[in-house]
A and B are shown apart, each in its own frame.
Chain A
Amino acid sequence: MTGTDKKPVVKVEHLSKHFGEGSARVEALRDINMEVFPGQVVGLMGPSGSGKTTLLHCIACILEPSSGRITLDNEVVYDQRWLKADLRRLRLDKIGFIFQYPNLLPFLDGSDNVAIVLHLAGVASGPARSRAIELLDYLEVGHRKHALPKQLSGGEAQRVAIARALANRPRIILADEPTAPLDSARARIVMDLLKRIAVEQQAAIIVVTHDEMILDHFDHIYRLRDGRLELDSPPVPPVKAAPVESA
């Protein structure tokens, strides 16, 4: 499913970003164009320093582009109308994040690490907790809801982090190297999960990765080099994954 019959949830147009001025000026992104549709899982690949993380920061509304336009779920951001607080609210309401490392808050247990997002969005604690447990069950880590992050395995922690990213039913999910700390079997489990979420929740998922082993999970791959979009590759034919045991 390419989703080309629908409106893109993420649309990046002629995006450029530079740091510094004069001789110290570094062009991090140059004239980037990309679209991600609901239900799509898109890979953002490239060598270190190619601008993947900068592009992710721009889409995540934590880094203002130097020029160009980003449209998130039909809202054009960084058009001089947005305040910092609005962008924070936009992040909270529409974007879910999965970090390279789970980045769970060490002082909250599994369910509270998920419920915190709903709490910040103003959801009462009862419904927030129910939703958190529902998500943990959906990701098959419901039995670890009372465990602190330090008591979770790498795979369990990553799934709690994914549950947190899904808590507010975001239209966009940004994942920065989500499989980096995992072995290949668990990496495939996480990617299968993201694919399932994209389809079931009609979310647009952008995954920054170096991992060539998970290419078959992407509907589309964008490759960056020196801040330029080098290759806009077509969907990769699916590769049958080897069966693995649950993480």
Chain B
Amino acid sequence: MNLAYRDIKHNLLRFVLTNFGLSLLLGIVIMITGVYGGLIDDALRQARAANADLWVVEAGTNGPFAESSRIPGDTRELVSRVYGIERAGAVTYQSVQTVLNDKPLRLFLIGFEPGRPGGPHRLVAGRDILRGHYEMIVDRSAGMALGQDVPLGTHGRKFTVVGLMRNEVTSSGDPVAYITLRDAQALQFELAPPAARREQARGAGLETSNQINAVIAKVSPFVKVDEVAAALTRWKHLSALTQEQQETLLSKFVIERARKQQGLIMVLLVIVSAVIIALIIYTLTMDKVRSIATLKFIGAPDRTIIGMIVQQALSMGIFGYLTGLALVLVFKPYFPRRLVLDPDNVAIVFVITIVVCLAASTLGIRLALKVDPAEALASSG
């Protein structure tokens, strides 16, 4: 005879409503882990999308994501000639803001050389960029459709969406868009006509737009990446970062503050959940004091009573957790940023929930163990 189950069944509506509230709280904890996972995944995805072995950037910088990096556009030819380099491609990175359907939209623009490393991969719709100018491949979270024209840059040039990607966003949630390197350089480095005229008027020469932010290089499998990196850094104006170094920079430094903030929110939510679970269990036990006294009076051992409280606490935790997880999974597509639910993190939240439930039930157990069997003889009905 399972007393915990019978009690839950008897007070089913109260149990369901209490657990629904708890599931919302646990759902938020699970969601925060999803946001955290998404933050890491998006940050690393940017670097991993390039499929690079080496990142050649401006000397003394941790570019192109952690710091700005600007190197001459012909660096790609220079890098290509280094022993061990199989392929290389020049890239630029910049954030732009445009207007889509009368709403401002931020995009993270990547300029690349079609046919060389650094371009998009795994399109979910459309095609690669084939024309030299004004074509764009964009993440579908931007809400653009194939064939749609989108104005970009100070000149208001319109770019046509020719391809769509999935899950290509920055660590801050902005959709990624790919355009050709030439277009990207024009957007990033060319001055708007009034500014260019003013520069000419004051006698300054027009700055060349043939600048890039980094060169992405693929290294031959027969050559050590570190050796190639060492060879590249002999040029005093260049630095070379391996893919591993780039990922470390992104995951440990670029998103460190956001990671800590989310960690703090998660710890606070776990504490709040623990307090709420403890109060719920304490209240449920308070409601059963007379039944507990009766059970003790007729000879129930302490373990029967402890078992009842612990089983109810665990049922509450498991039910709340599963409902919370289900709510997160159902509403995940509508969340304003990408949630990545890492199975390990989800399992850790489950373990934390169980530990919190067990710890929280001690308050109820203490109360139950203090109940005097003689209370069953009290005259109130």
Chain A residues at the B interface, C-beta cutoff of 8 Å: 53, 56-57, 60, 62-63, 85, 88-89, 91-93, 97, 99-101, 103, 105-108, 112, 115-117, 119-121, 125, 148, 164, 176, 181
Contact = CB atoms under 8 A, between A and B. Distances in A.
Contacts of B300: 88, 120
Nearest to A161: B294
30 contacts: A56-B377, A57-B374, A62-B372, A62-B373, A88-B296, A88-B299, A89-B299, A91-B298, A92-B298, A92-B299, A99-B376, A99-B377, A101-B381, A103-B376, A105-B3, A105-B294, A106-B10, A107-B3, A107-B7, A107-B10, A107-B11, A108-B3, A112-B1, A115-B1, A116-B3, A116-B298, A120-B298, A120-B299, A120-B300, A120-B304
B6 A97 contact: no
A108 B373 contact: no
Contacts of A60: 297
Interface in B6-39: 6-7, 9-11
A165 to B, nearest CB: 8
A85 B10 contact: no
A125 B1 contact: yes
Given A88-B301, A107-B11, 5 more contacts: A105-B291, A107-B3, A107-B6, A116-B295, A125-B1
Interface residues of B, number: 26
Contact of A103 (B6, B7, B290, B372): B290
Contacts of A164: 298
Given A85-B301, A112-B6, A117-B299, A103 B294 contact: yes
Contacts of B290: 103
A209 B235 CA distance: 104
B356 to A, nearest CB: 25
Contacts of A103: 290, 294, 376
Q: 3 tightest CB-CB pairs across the interface, nearest first?
A: A92-B299, A107-B10, A107-B7
Interface string B295-316: 1111111001000000000000
A106 B292 CA distance: 11
B369 to A, nearest CB: 11
A63 B374 contact: yes
Nearest to A85: B301
Nearest to A176: B377
A108 B23 CA distance: 28
Contacts of A107: 3, 6-7, 9-11, 291
Interface in B282-336: 290-291, 294-301, 304
A108 B298 contact: no
A131 B242 CA distance: 77
Contacts of A108: 1, 3, 6
B101 interface: no
A200 to B, nearest CB: 22
Contacts of B379: 100-101
B1 A116 contact: yes
B297 A62 contact: yes
Contacts of A105: 3, 291, 294-295
Contacts of B298: 91-92, 97, 116-117, 120, 164
